[in-house]
Each structure stands twice: as structure tokens, then as C-alpha cells.
Structure 1
Amino acid sequence: MTPAGPVALVAGATGPIGRAVVRALASDGARVVALSRSGDQVRGCVQALACDLGDRTALDDAVSTVESTWGPVEVLVNAAHPPPELGTAVADLSARVLADQLAGVAAHAALCARIVPGMRLLGRGRVVYVAGASMARPLPGGGGYAAAKAAGAVLTRHLALEEGPAGITANVVAPGRVVDPASPREPSAHAAALGQELAQRITLPTFPSPDDVACAVCLLVASPALTGQTIWVTGGEPIAA
């Protein structure tokens, strides 16, 4: 890692988890660039950039800007995903809704394709994909979202296998239900029902927060020996995976 701190790119940086990851990595000394569709500033970042991850040209331009300004990206955290459309049974999923969810997998692959070659040249790198516990714990109405997150996680585990010899680690953080104390909001009827069900499954008294998820991300970024792993941030909900 460079003396000034590694350059970290956080995609999906304006969501609750993305913001927490930016703050945590910055506290650990990283120079964090926040990437999002809106380009809004995030506390702790050295730069905020707007980018549609589905646009390969825009993605290439954004990463090129990071590289020319700060240097090669050593840490990639992908917390971006299209908004989930929950509450629709698998048999009722439209092709459009499923394609929208799977676009998140394509975006993750595009991020890796653009950034990992630079990590190879450095001889080091960290990739962390933020998935979701739903990929291993089916719940009604979440099939499209869960399938996309599962695909992104599998892609990341393959990346770990392929890039390990280059000193690059790739891991997955899979949150369960996450509650942000700083931004309370009224859940939809579907989310509220799932929340009540999940509350009976966790062993801790409260659901994890975005900061709890960020702690797991920072652990994986800090460790040179953890790769191909999935950390379940679920508040103690048993996960069979």
C-alpha cells in the first residue's frame, strides 16, 4: 500500500451501506472516491463522481479520472445495485424486471474488468462485493433480487480463484436486514412483513446497521489472507450456505 493510503473506489456510495463504507475506509487511511449515479458528495471521500455503471464508456472515463488524479485503484468495493422490486413471485417476474436486476451483475463484471488489470500490475488489490443474505435464504417475493445477488457473489468467488496468484483478494459481504438509525424510514408493507419474520430469526437484540456492514468490509480490505470468503452480517440469523 502507498504511504499516502490506498486508493479505494466505492460504487453505490450514496446508499446507506455505501456511505458507511466510505466513512470507514477513510478512517482507516484510504483515499476514497465515491462513485454513484448522482455523484453526490459523501463524507470522508476525496472525490465524488457521477457514473451510470451500465454505460461502459462512462465507467471507463470515471476510472480513468480516478487513476489520473489519485493513482491506481487498490481497493474496489461494489455496494451498487438496481433498486430491488420486492413482492413479486418468481412465476410473475417480467423479463424487464429480471433484466433490471441482472444488470447489477453485469455492472460488477464491468467494474472488475476495468480495475483488476491495474491491480495485477501493482501485484496487490482488494475486491469486495456487497451481496445480501437473501441469496441463501429464500423469502417470498425476493427471487429476482436474490438471484442477481447470488450471481454477483459467484462471480466474485471465481475472481478470487483466478486472481489470487497476482496478490488480489476478492470477497463477499452479505448483509441480512439492515436498519439505519440515522435515517429511519417507513418500510413498505412487504418489507415490514419480512422484517417481522426476520426479527424472529436473529439472535442479537437489534438488526445490523450500515456501520456494522462497513466493519466487515474493512476487515476484508485489511486482510491479505482472506479471499473467496462470504461474511454474513445478519445479526446472528442462521444461514445455511
Structure 2
Amino acid sequence: MSHLEDPARPLTGRRALITGASRGIGADIARAYAASGADLVLTARDATALEGPARRLAEEHGVRAAVLAADLADPEVPDRLWQQASDVLDGPERLDVLVNNAGISHPESIQELRTDHFDETLQINLRAPSLLAARAGAAMADSGGGAIVTIASAAALRPLPEHYAYSVAKAGLVMATRTLALELGPHGVRANSICPTVVLTDMGRTVWGDQPAKAAPMLARIPQDRFAQPHEVSDVAVWLASGAASMVNGVDVPVDGGYLVS
């Protein structure tokens, strides 16, 4: 942590855009960033779903929180979203953190793979966040630096059955993050990714936590013998945006209980 940072609120003075913030990991990162002192712009397809949570975060933590509707399936959205997010907070300050979190999954075997599911997954999980990070990173480079934190997946680093399109997209996103780190690092922009195993969000509990037969083979490959909790991803996302990670750039951080070494 930088010696200038409050250890209880290490993101004070930072302004972050968080995509896919209405539920799951994105919602928990929004909570953690607000508790750490960051001003927020939260996006989701339906901005109305974010208005109540944004208001509560602002009131509870004394930060500013704005919302924007952003459908990352729209091919034009990534090019303009960073500028829209920069304009929506009151005041002239620039945004300096991007949390690239939004994503989808269509679990299916390769034999059952649907072309429309493949295309949609790459559109939302690879094209949109890669372009958004490029536009945000270029703007950060022009204005003094910043941090890009991308939520990838352990499936980017180790293949996962019935997640062909998802694994392909997340692997591409990891390489996009490394390239951003390489090109933009000299301009004060750090780019890193987080690669979680299964995270027990509401969706994760439904798909994995409430289905012991499905979960057992995956748990058998995790030395800690459990899935991740949302805050275990959010804590890393806070750290990567903070001064404590000022020399961390181009890294893929597994939050997987040892899954990738088993």
C-alpha cells in the first residue's frame, strides 16, 4: 500500500467504472470499492436496477455513485462508454479505474454448440471488454495513468468442459490484458486480470453450490476443497486498483484455492 493511502479506505480519491454491477461479482466489487472510498459509475443493461444500490452505497460510504445503462452486446457501446462514464459524475475529475466485469455464459458441450451462443459470448466477453479497455486505457494514458482490472476466469488458463466459447473468450481477454500492460505501462496505466474459480454468487450457488453431483468433480480439483466467495474476488480487485499494487502490471491473479496447480 502507498504510504499516502488510508489503509481502511485505500481507493479514496479514485473514480471507477464497474461494468455488470447489478449483481454477482460486479455488485460485490461495487460494495468493496465504495467501502474503500472510490467514487463509482455503475453500469448494467438495466440502469434502473442499479439506482437503489448506488444510492445506498453513496449514503453509507460517503462517496459519489452514478449509474449508466450499457448493453455490451451493442457493438457501438464500448467505443463511447468510457467518455459517457467520465461525464456522468458531478465535477470535472477524470475516471482512473476500469473494472471490466460484465460477462455471460452458455454452458454446452462442443457437440451441442450453437453458433449464436458462441458469437454472443465472444461479443460480450471478449470484444466489448477488450475495446472498452483499449479506449479507457488510451484516455488514462493521455491524462496521467490509471488501472484496468479485468475479471477473467480460471477457465482462461485451464480448459473447462461445456465452456468452449466462454474459455476461448476469457483466454483472449487475458492476452488482451497483457498487451494493454505492455503498451500502456510506460504511460502510467496498469492492466491486470483476476481469474477466479467458481464463485458462489446467487448464480454460482444455483449452478454449482446447490448441485452436489455437478460440483463434486470440480471441488476434487481444488486443494482448498471449496468454491470462492464474492468478497475474495472483490478484495483482490481493490488491491489491484490501489497503491499497494503500484508495481503489479500484466499479471493474471488466480483466485482459485489452488485449482490451477492441482
User: Which TM-score tier does this pair reach, normalised by the shorter chain?
Assistant: 0.7 to 0.9
Residue 169 of structure 2: aligned partner? 148
SS in structure 1 of the partner of residue 40 of structure 2: strand
* Helix, strand or coil at the partner of 2:99: strand
- Root-mean-square deviation (CA, aligned residues, Å) is 2.6
Distance 2:154 2:204 in 1: 21
User: Which residue number in structure 2 is paired with residue 13 of structure 1?
Assistant: 21
Structure in which a larger fraction of residues adopt helix: 2
2:72 aligned with 1:53:
yes
- Equivalent residue runs for 1:110-125 within 5 Å: 110-125=131-146
Is 1:210 paired with 2:210? no
Give CA-to-partner distance per residue, 1:27-76, whole Å, 9 cap, x none: 11110111111112235360121111233544555433332243322000
Seen in structure 2, the aligned counterparts of structure 1 residues 193 and 227 have a Cα distance that, compared at 3 Å, is farther
User: Is the contact between residue 154 and residue 260 of structure 2 (CA under 8 Å) also seen in structure 1?
Assistant: no
Answering whether residue 127 of structure 2 is matched by residue 106 of structure 1, we say yes
- The answer for the alignment partner of 2:105 in structure 1 is 84
Matches within 5 A, 1:187-202: 187=207, 193-202=213-222
Q: Distance in 2 between matches of 1:141 and 1:22?
A: 30
What CA distance in whole angstroms lies between the structure 2 residues aligned with 1:100 and 1:68? 29
The corresponding residue for 1:168 is: 189
- Structure 2 residues not aligned, in runs of 5+: 6-10, 59-64
Q: Which amino acid aligns with 2:257?
A: G
Alignment-derived partner of residue 63 in structure 1: 82
Quickly say closer, same or farther: Cα 1:65–1:87, change in 2 above 3 A. closer
Whether 1:236 aligns to 2:258 is yes
Q: Is the 8 A contact 1:56 1:110 kept in 2?
A: no
Structure 1: how far apart are the matches of 2:81 and 2:254?
31
Task: Give unmatched runs, 5+ long, in structure 1.
Answer: none
Query: Is contact 2:150–2:194 with CA below 8 Å preserved after alignment?
Result: yes
Say if 1:4 and 1:212 are closer, same or farther in 2 by CA, change over 3 A. closer
Q: Contact 1:129–1:173 (CA<8 Å) still a contact in 2?
A: yes
1:136 corresponds to which residue? Answer: 157
Q: TM-score, normalised by structure 1?
A: 0.87
Contact map agreement 2:97 2:147 (CA 8 A) in 1: yes
* Residue type at the aligned position of 1:51: A
In the superposition, the TM-score normalised over structure 2's length comes to 0.81
Instruction: Pick closer, same or farther for the CA change 1:188–1:227 going to 2, 3 Å.
Output: closer
Match of 2:39 in 1: 31
Query: Is the deviation greater in 166-175 or in 7-16?
Result: 7-16
Report Cα offsets for 1:110-148 as digits up to 9, x if no partner: 212332222012221100110111122223211111111
- Give me the whole-angstrom Cα distance separating, in 2, the residues matched to 1:63 and 1:119: 10
1:220 to 236, 240, 244: 240
| Local SS of the residue matching 2:41 | strand
CA distance in 2, matches of 1:184, 1:174: 15
In the alignment of these two chains, the number of paired residues is: 236
**How far off is 1:15 after superposition?**
2.8
Greater mean alpha carbon deviation, residues 95-104 or residues 54-63: 54-63
**What secondary structure does 1:99 align onto?**
helix
Q: Secondary structure at the match of 2:253?
A: strand
Q: CA deviation at 1:179?
A: 1.0
